[in-house]
Amino acid sequence: MIRLSLLIFIFTFISVKVFSQSAATISGTITDEKGEPLPGSTVLVEGTTISAATNLKGFYHLQVTSGNYSIRVTFTGYLPATRQITVVAGGTTKFNTSLTANSSSLQQVEITGRKQKTYKTKSTFIGNKTETDIKDLPQSVSYASKELMADQGAIRVGDVVKNFSGVNQFTFYDDLTIRGFRVNGQSNTQLVNGLRTSTGFWKQPLTNYLERVEVLKGPSSALYGNASPGGVVNRVTKKPLNETRRSISMSLGSFNTFRGLADFTGPASKDSSLLYRLNLGYEDANSFRDLQFDKNIVVAPSLSFVASEKTRINFDMVYNSSRSRLDRGQSVIGDDLYSTPQSLALSTANDFLNEQTYIITLSANHRFNDNLSFNLAYSKTGYTEDLYEHRSANAYAKNKLGADIPNLVAMQVFQRKRKRYIDNLSGYLNYQVKTGAAEHKIVAGYDYGSEKMPVGASQLTASGYRNAANTGTIANYVVKDSLKYMRDSKGNPVPNIPSFDLSNPLNSQRLQDDSKAFFAPTALAPTYYYLNAGYVQDQIKLGRFQALLGVRYEYYTDFVNYATVTEEKTHSSAWLPRFGLVYTATKNINLYSSYVMGYNPQTAANLANPNAGGPFDPVTSNMVEFGAKSSWFDDRLSITAAIYQIEQKNTLYNANDPNNPDLLRPVGKERSRGFEFDITGRILPNWSVLASYAYNDAKITESGTPAEIGRQKPNAPKNSANVWTRYNFTDGALTGLGVGFGANYVEKRNLSISLTQTIPSYTLMNAALYYNWGRSQIQFNANNITNKKHWVGGYDYIRLFPGTPSNYLITLTHNF
């Protein structure tokens, strides 16, 4: 045994000695043409897996053995550089180089992944269906890169949008307001990779598979069909890179939170014609809210096939399996906002919400020549919901005189199963041509979209009050008919489902025996609609001016009484123009103006709510916007300012009908006027910043109810602001240390256009610490460090959505 140990020691010693004698280092600095460092550049030893990314000073080092090597340096937006070098054993070989900007690097379709590691994004596909410098787009765009999301520990879109001017949460579901107009995950007006899709609404999915989240402000119907007039949210998934990058992270935090994330990408073939990316996510977390939890699994593979220099194909899939409970919010006693703890949820221990969602996208780009290319993309979304919940009936229980009992919330039980499928096909041509001194970028295309809730969707509902014979229920309590109701010892009507006692919540949150409740089927009729649309757009550049002229024709078909013998097709159509003008005032500043129109049919299928009533006239909207976009510090920092006015007709609001809580009614006209200001990027190579401010005067201007005219719209603050900054120490004893700090301000908000209930303003303070060593980082995020009590939104004082109290998250990340 001793001899064996001695032999192993000698062998190991000789191996280490031989390697150390042949080991060598390649190091240097990568800069641009002006000598400025290019952080995040990739330095690759061709024919091997050895690579490194430059730090904030553009410095890198590689560990190799002696020999001759081909070193390749790449950075998005720049031409690659390759050089042959000879490395001598035991020494350090210096290799410095500068990269030249590639003016023709823009893509026609987003297939190639983004390599930069900064908050700032130079270009977007959302505005023109081709990669466009954000400065040249005559419409406001807000965005958050994966680096910003990682720095803030933001894992859901609701956490991300606090960075955007004019964007706020409406509830803590997948539910937002943009410039005062609501947009949510159930309305099929959100985008993934520029294609229309939907989420389950109730739960916000994880964001670990996203490259960035971006919002195109204002109506976007001219490019994407029916959408909110406030703006459209686009989730851009991570795409494969032509270099190997691998990372794993583990997070532990407040409320028994555990997350494990992984991101792998690189070439799948020796010639890099096939690239892959795989993002994985697992979450097991409780909540500060009673009985709430989230268990999520995310699998998001992506493949890019570079068939030739002219043809590329990309496949993306996002699969999310979610197990949780549905949180309908906090209820308070009467009008006392502070009468119950914010942790109070009206769920019970036998509630559950199981959801599965997949989004599959296949896209291709073929370039016929330098001026003409064709793009084709298809996306399919599938959603399955299995729900059992105890929830409020949006009212307090009634006493024998018909008055509210303020500590008792009327309850109901839903048991629901349903599926939804969404299909999207988009094909378009990009053509560049010059006519005299004018340059044209023409986009002409066709869109097809459909949404279907197939036969089988069904719901059982237990609600109302028991009749005197205890053989059924009556929906509402009517005093003059009191003898028709079963009554308790106090003479009050007996509810079908026991009321939730806000004074004794523990008893109401226990396992409930619903076997004696009277359940009735609730109509969830199958629905189906599809649309066909054609559009053409020309971006004309003449000297310092760029004009954007576009028009879309949309033909919408909805099936009334779908899948029944009385099925009938109905049609609607609209012409949707889009105009924009950009003027390059200086090298750094562009001024712009735009006019766009929006259109949104309002049918049961389109609303994903068959019980909403109707038929309703379509929503129509228009926006006028003026602004300025600028870049500073060698394009490291961007500053945008915008003023706008949006008008919309026929918006639907809840009718407050006690017999049908889902019933909606149209309001005549709304108007939103405001100002926005955004700063994004780096002041110094090691100092990143993001800040925004928004003023938004969003009011009802026409209504059949005079008291509603002039009221600020629900969950639309007049003033909101945000700042976040990160500073990394790069010299001295603190090298490797980073600090982050942020604050969010939201002014008080109305909860309804028909009630006077409001929720107060709040300011949240957040901080972070980072420490990097080698390829590893440990990160500590502390959010709401002053433990500010706040509400992110709500419908009324029975359905309030509290914000998270003080919480922390520790994350360990390793790159290899």
DSSP string, 524-570: ---EEEEEEEEEEEEEEEETTEEEEEEEEEEEEEEEETTTSTT-EEE
Give me the pLDDT at residue 248, please. Answer: 97
Answer yes or no: are the C-beta atoms of 764 and 723 closer than 8 Å. no
User: Residue 47 carries which DSSP code?
Assistant: T
Give me the pLDDT at residue 77, please. Answer: 59
Structure tokens at 597: 């129109």
Average pLDDT, whole number, for the chain? 89
Tell me how far apart the alpha carbons of residues 43 and 423 are, in angstroms, rounded to a whole number: 41
Closest CA to 426 of 454, 452, 448: 448
Q: How far is CA 657 from CA 478, 612, 650, in A?
A: 15, 11, 19
Tell me how far apart the alpha carbons of residues 558 and 572 are, in angstroms, rounded to a whole number: 9
The SS3 call for residue 691 is strand
Judge whether residue 214 has pLDDT over 80: yes
Answer yes or no: are the C-beta atoms of 108 and 375 closer than 8 Å. yes
Judge whether residue 187 has pLDDT over 80: no
Strand 438-453 relative to strand 527-542, pairing: antiparallel
Judge whether residue 211 has pLDDT over 60: yes
The SS3 call for residue 94 is strand
Compute the average pLDDT of residues 125-151. Answer: 89
**Secondary element (H or E) of residue 365:** strand 352-367
Better-predicted residue by pLDDT, 258 or 200: 258
Which sign does the torsion angle of CA 704, 708, 711, 714 carry?
negative
Determine which of 41-55, 127-141, 301-315, 386-400 has the lowest per-residue pLDDT on average: 41-55
Judge whether residue 442 has pLDDT over 80: yes
The SS3 call for residue 135 is helix
Percent of the chain with pLDDT over 90: 67
Give me the pLDDT at residue 4, please. Answer: 46
Tell me how far apart the alpha carbons of residues 689 and 681 are, in angstroms, rounded to a whole number: 6
Judge whether residue 216 has pLDDT over 70: yes
Better-predicted residue by pLDDT, 44 or 411: 411
User: Residue 748 carries which DSSP code?
Assistant: -
**Secondary element (H or E) of residue 2:** helix 2-22
Judge whether residue 711 has pLDDT over 80: yes
The SS3 call for residue 349 is coil
- pLDDT level of residue 74 (50, 70, 90 thresholds): confident
Compute the average pLDDT of residues 611-637. Answer: 88
Question: Over the stretch 222-240, which tens digit does the pLDDT of each residue have?
Answer: 677 767 888 888 999 999 9
Compute the average pLDDT of residues 208-226. Answer: 84
Which sign does the torsion angle of CA 13, 19, 22, 25 carry?
negative
* 471 CB-near residues (< 8 Å, 6+ apart): none
Phi, psi of 540 (to 5 degrees): -105, 130
Phi, psi of 607 (to 5 degrees): -80, -10
Closest CA to 311 of 249, 374, 261: 374
Burial degree of 6 (CB within 10 A; 0-12, 13-18, 19+):
exposed
Give all domains of the chain, ordered by start, each with its CATH number. Answer: 2-98 (2.60.40.1120), 123-234 (2.170.130.10), 235-460+521-815 (2.40.170.20)
Most confident of 97-101, 160-164, 523-527: 160-164
Closest CA to 722 of 681, 693, 682: 693
What letters, b where the CB count within 10 A reaches 16 and e where it falls short, cover 302-325?
Answer: bbbbbeeeeebbbbbbbbbebbbb
Structure tokens at 766: 């957040």
Q: pTM for this one?
A: 0.84
Which stretches within 74-211 are classed as H helix?
Answer: 146-152, 157-160
Determine which of 272-281, 306-315, 457-466 has the lowest per-residue pLDDT on average: 306-315
Give me the pLDDT at residue 343, please. Answer: 97
Question: Over the stretch 480-498, which tens digit does the pLDDT of each residue have?
Answer: 999 999 999 999 999 999 9
Compute the average pLDDT of residues 589-598. Answer: 94
Tell me how far apart the alpha carbons of residues 231 and 221 are, in angstroms, rounded to a whole number: 10
Which stretches within 569-635 are classed as H helix?
Answer: 604-607
Give me the pLDDT at residue 255, please. Answer: 97
Which stretches within 104-160 are classed as H helix?
Answer: 146-152, 157-160
Query: How many CA atoms within 13 Å lie on the side-chain side of 273?
Result: 7
**Secondary element (H or E) of residue 222:** helix 221-224
User: Residue 519 carries which DSSP code?
Assistant: -
What letters, b where the CB count within 10 A reaches 16 and e where it falls short, cover 735-770?
Answer: eeebebebebbbbebbbbbbeebbbeebebbbebeb
Residue with tokens 């889009």: 578
Give me the pLDDT at residue 19, please. Answer: 41
Give me the pLDDT at residue 104, please. Answer: 42
Give me the pLDDT at residue 201, please. Answer: 84
Question: Over the stretch 537-553, which tens digit does the pLDDT of each residue have?
Answer: 999 999 999 999 999 99
Percent of the chain with pLDDT over 70: 92
Judge whether residue 509 has pLDDT over 80: yes
Answer yes or no: are the C-beta atoms of 193 and 224 closer than 8 Å. no
Tell me how far apart the alpha carbons of residues 609 and 600 are, in angstroms, rounded to a whole number: 15
Q: How far is CA 612 from CA 255, 386, 420, 731, 735, in A?
A: 37, 21, 18, 62, 59
Q: How far is CA 690 from CA 14, 115, 639, in A?
A: 53, 20, 10
Q: How far is CA 698 from CA 64, 162, 211, 709, in A?
A: 62, 19, 32, 11
Give me the pLDDT at residue 21, please. Answer: 52
Compute the average pLDDT of residues 254-265. Answer: 97
Question: Over the stretch 718-765, which tens digit does the pLDDT of each residue have?
Answer: 999 999 999 999 888 999 999 999 999 999 999 988 878 999 999 999
Answer yes or no: are the C-beta atoms of 97 and 37 closer than 8 Å. no
Structure tokens at 366: 């073929």
Compute the average pLDDT of residues 120-132. Answer: 83
Compute the average pLDDT of residues 667-694. Answer: 94
Judge whether residue 29 has pLDDT over 90: yes
Tell me how far apart the alpha carbons of residues 708 and 715 are, in angstroms, rounded to a whole number: 15
Judge whether residue 78 has pLDDT over 80: no
Tell me how far apart the alpha carbons of residues 107 and 125 are, in angstroms, rounded to a whole number: 9
Tell me how far apart the alpha carbons of residues 339 and 502 are, in angstroms, rounded to a whole number: 9
Tell me how far apart the alpha carbons of residues 27 and 59 are, in angstroms, rounded to a whole number: 7
Most confident of 176-185, 301-310, 366-375, 406-415: 406-415
Q: How far is CA 71 from CA 10, 29, 48, 79, 281, in A?
A: 35, 13, 10, 14, 34
Answer yes or no: are the C-beta atoms of 61 and 106 closer than 8 Å. no
